[in-house]
Structure 1
């Protein structure tokens, strides 16, 4: 492995654009965020070293033995996160990147590509939540961040047009259009940057020159070139050089090894597309490759289920490939099942809870219509109890392998029905158990609206809801009234009740699950008034009270404290019956 003559960024970016550099299947996907890219460009302009790179020269006669992927060019957090497989048929020798993919992709995106990430508080499925952004550089003032010299930012074109005395945004990629240094002065004059305050005009000129020099002139891409054609050697080199930087997860490496070892399927394409598929089930989830690969190890009954390279040898990979369709269907059914319980990416706080469910379904042959058929109703109820208990008890925190293995053994020996009761009684791993104490049940009453575990607590109270409908967590006594001391005072509520309401309106005792449309209709109406609107007869009111654990007392606003005390008493009894008795 020899150190080579350094290259300029222009040379490398243009060669990436011409697909002269590719990524081997052992590379992870792009994971850098916009801040990391901005810091990389700041380092370049400041003159800081950006680290050495490692390229792998692959002879044309060996290209067909491996899989290669193109660089990601336009990153989109939802729609474009996966690299496209490269067409290498008929190619000459190629150079693949063993170390430096994140930095090189970042350079390409900053100069020729785009980056689209979701705006805060916007829905995943909303296309406008992902505006396309380019990398820009402020030519008038430096960064106001302590550890940044230059003000780089990813902006939309509209944002970049907003200019004032302290900002003029230059699209960084436009520097590639400059072939001679004198064009910098032309740009400065053409855009009247010479007419701003003298100090800022000087800064703009200097900054643009530094950018030109960093991209076109300075040979800052220092790299080693590995010419070995041995995959084993290349893998060992890859593992060693990727021990730093953004952490390379075992799943990325193991998936890459699988890609090289699977015979009939492309493991990388198969598993990454499968992850996308299951994440789109129901109201969206947030599963990853780690979950899928871990599930493969568990379902195939391998004794060691840890993420270790030794556990993913050719024998293991062949078994997983042979059983992939059945494994995928078991995972798919499990996700559909938890989605039918009303869980989504927000409320399913422990993704590994899917694995025991998938194991049970896999060992039972992935029963047809398991999610809908009346035949499996008791199984579904037991799995729902297990799911909620496992989430609330946080049994998959820490070292989940220590929990997955004993759970697998209990399920393996009890396949007639899902053995929730046996799991509750027999699962004892250090401090991990599915059993609840009375104190733990009491603590559930202190769960607040919006808490990640609120849905799990409420779903225990509503086991028979059809969650295919959209259910909202609703404040029974409206939040808009109870959180406002001024509004409560205008309603003539006593100071004691006001103090209690402001402190307690968000707890489970004041929450219910109701369908989205009724919740919108309910809006901020006082509860006693709303109940009289939707329930005409006394029987309808009695049915509603029973379904939602509403005490048979005065439901006016000034009786909120009594309502909470009585309803929490009923909820406590219900939870004790479910979780302990």
Structure 2
């Protein structure tokens, strides 16, 4: 029985989302626009683009599989495919290998690719792009190297352009929307289209007119005339055989990650949940809430299922036995609940975006929430009293000290073992045990002279700076933006001319200015406090501060230190105060509340002692 076939693009493309679909064992679409451009360039050059692998699924097996539609209007980073509605009277064809290439053809010839505009803040948005081809650019124009071979990677001029801002045509570039080639179904229509383009562009010289004819004719040939697509069609309905074909087709290179192969196994074995939609929904929720574009992928979610259930969580095929897959499925709702609770905590702590320097930190806290709430209905899950502060201080210190860098799996296993031992006797987050044991095994979490020096010297543009401010200011909820970071000594007072007048040596001016942008010179003020600060001269502002204010911000209460000439002495004084505060951060967090007592930091007293000193 014949299993290998050839097809023209114009024949196969209309079948997509009509009788050709995607099985749930496939990963989402991941190609970048540059890869689509290379695909079309390869087709135009007559290069093979590898064989597609298709599986014909009979209607009596439709209910056994989750089947999805191809996406033709793709949004970068999206992991969602809509479920397919299959006609019950005929077989469907599922793509086992080639989804990325087929989707790319669909996007280029019938759809669009939406990307971020690169702006931040209020100007952030998306740009919808379509594929264009410059019909005037000849693939034969470039210079050749000494061997007579062309030196450029792309021969034909394809590019994605914003659909609402198409480039203007001139005598050097005539940009043709590639999707229009689908509408030209025969050679007579092709000739008419070429004549119309020449009529609309009368200033083209002879060479450009020739390029236009050749390029459009070649594009039409690729889509309508040549059998550029080759595919293998499997008709057997055996799940095991199909999975074996899928894994063998995709396990030989970098086409699929290990998580995609493992997800295919899980998809076939889970009965209670749709593994693909479950992982997609939680991935989207965690990425959005914690401002992460590529984190929290399938690898992460599957490892969490192993980690929470005290299984070997190394991402190896050997760990995904049928038994372990069943354990993950049976506990999936609780795993998901713990991950989302931890995500909410990190968002509340303000540890997101660049400040989340290690996403495994979320898994650590989710594991604790999973274990401390064991045996309770999910609706009753909660963060134990006092734990939010303990968790926030500890995990912020973990990220600041880089505890999860290097051999992270070893550190995480150490954490899990410590957690299990502690939770046999107590139901609160074990800051003291974790901090002490981490330090003992070489993951130093103490705030010694070196650590404090690194802390106060953080430049505010560095991703660790928000973590430092989080530790310095004991705020419970950072998600409400009613505060702002303000320089204690404003930058205009550290300008070169002003410092020279103050008597600062020329060789020290750069040092003064450098410290002006570091954490030692930053404070967090409420909006009202900031308005008060900006409305007064610095000297008047200093003179009207209270002892409580100095304590809260770890600021020295000596007015002389706020003079520009004494700025480095101000930095040293504040460093000492910050050191005293950091010294008690984890110690205070480790203290366990007695019945009816609410844990709170006595940091103000420590700061006051330092200020008086």
Structures share fold, TM-score greater than 0.5: yes
CA distance 1:67–1:196, change in 2 (3 Å)? same
Secondary structure at the residue paired with 2:70? coil
Q: Which residue of 2 aligns with 1:463?
A: 474
Comparing 219-228 with 281-290, which one deviates more in the overlay? 281-290
Asked if 1:217 corresponds to 2:215, the answer is no
2:502, 2:126 → 1: CA distance?
44
Q: Which residue of 2 aligns with 1:565?
A: 572
Q: Which residue of 2 aligns with 1:102?
A: 100
Q: Which residue of 1 aligns with 2:611?
A: none
Instruction: Report matched runs for 1:157-236 at 5 Å.
Output: 157-191=163-197, 192-193=200-201, 195-236=203-244
1:481, 1:36 → 2: CA distance?
51
The two structures, once aligned, show a CA RMSD in angstroms of 3.3
CA distance 1:135–1:326, change in 2 (3 Å)? same
Deviation track 1:205-232 (CA, whole Å, cap 9, x = no partner) reads: 2222221122222211122222332222
Cα drift, residue 352 of structure 1:
1.0
Comparing 190-199 with 113-122, which one deviates more in the overlay? 190-199
Residues 512, 548 of structure 1: 8 Å contact kept: yes
Secondary structure at the residue paired with 1:195? coil
Residues 21, 96 of structure 1: 8 Å contact kept: yes
Q: 2:303 is matched with which residue: 294, 301, 306?
A: 294
Q: Which residue of 1 aligns with 2:597?
A: none
Q: Which residue of 2 aligns with 1:359?
A: 367
CA distance 1:122–1:167, change in 2 (3 Å)? farther
Structure 2 stretches lacking a partner, 5+ long: 143-150, 589-613
Asked if 1:396 corresponds to 2:404, the answer is yes
Comparing 293-302 with 502-511, which one deviates more in the overlay? 502-511
2:71, 2:497 → 1: CA distance?
55
Cα drift, residue 432 of structure 1:
4.7
Cα drift, residue 177 of structure 1:
0.9
Residues 67, 260 of structure 1: 8 Å contact kept: no
Q: Which residue of 2 aligns with 1:510?
A: 521
1:517, 1:167 → 2: CA distance?
57
Secondary structure at the residue paired with 2:523? strand
Q: Which residue of 1 aligns with 2:50?
A: 51
Cα drift, residue 394 of structure 1:
2.7
Residues 432, 587 of structure 2: 8 Å contact kept: no
Q: 1:326 is matched with which residue: 309, 330, 334?
A: 334
Q: Which residue of 2 aligns with 1:549?
A: 554
Q: 2:488 is matched with which residue: 455, 458, 476?
A: 476
Residues 445, 572 of structure 1: 8 Å contact kept: no
Q: Which residue of 1 aligns with 2:320?
A: 312
2:421, 2:335 → 1: CA distance?
19
1:102, 1:245 → 2: CA distance?
15
2:440, 2:569 → 1: CA distance?
41
Q: Which residue of 2 aligns with 1:138?
A: 134
Structure 1 stretches lacking a partner, 5+ long: none
Instruction: Report matched runs for 1:568-579 at 5 Å.
Output: 568-578=575-585
Deviation track 1:250-269 (CA, whole Å, cap 9, x = no partner) reads: 33333333232222221211
Residues 71, 103 of structure 2: 8 Å contact kept: yes
2:566, 2:5 → 1: CA distance?
80
Cα drift, residue 577 of structure 1:
4.8
1:96, 1:183 → 2: CA distance?
33
Asked if 1:376 corresponds to 2:385, the answer is yes
Residues 447, 582 of structure 2: 8 Å contact kept: no
Normalising by the residue count of structure 1, what TM-score does the alignment of the two structures yield? 0.87
1:225, 1:433 → 2: CA distance?
58
Residues 452, 575 of structure 2: 8 Å contact kept: no
Q: Which residue of 2 aligns with 1:8?
A: 8
2:455, 2:129 → 1: CA distance?
43
What is the number of equivalent residue pairs in this alignment?
A: 565
Residues 114, 133 of structure 1: 8 Å contact kept: yes
Q: Which residue of 1 aligns with 2:609?
A: none
Deviation track 1:404-442 (CA, whole Å, cap 9, x = no partner) reads: 222111101112221122122223797655456643443
1:162, 1:291 → 2: CA distance?
46
Asked if 1:446 corresponds to 2:454, the answer is no
2:254, 2:33 → 1: CA distance?
14
Deviation track 1:442-498 (CA, whole Å, cap 9, x = no partner) reads: 33333222212111122111123531322544443445775x657878999874554
CA distance 1:91–1:391, change in 2 (3 Å)? farther
2:529, 2:11 → 1: CA distance?
61
1:164, 1:556 → 2: CA distance?
63
Cα drift, residue 355 of structure 1:
1.7
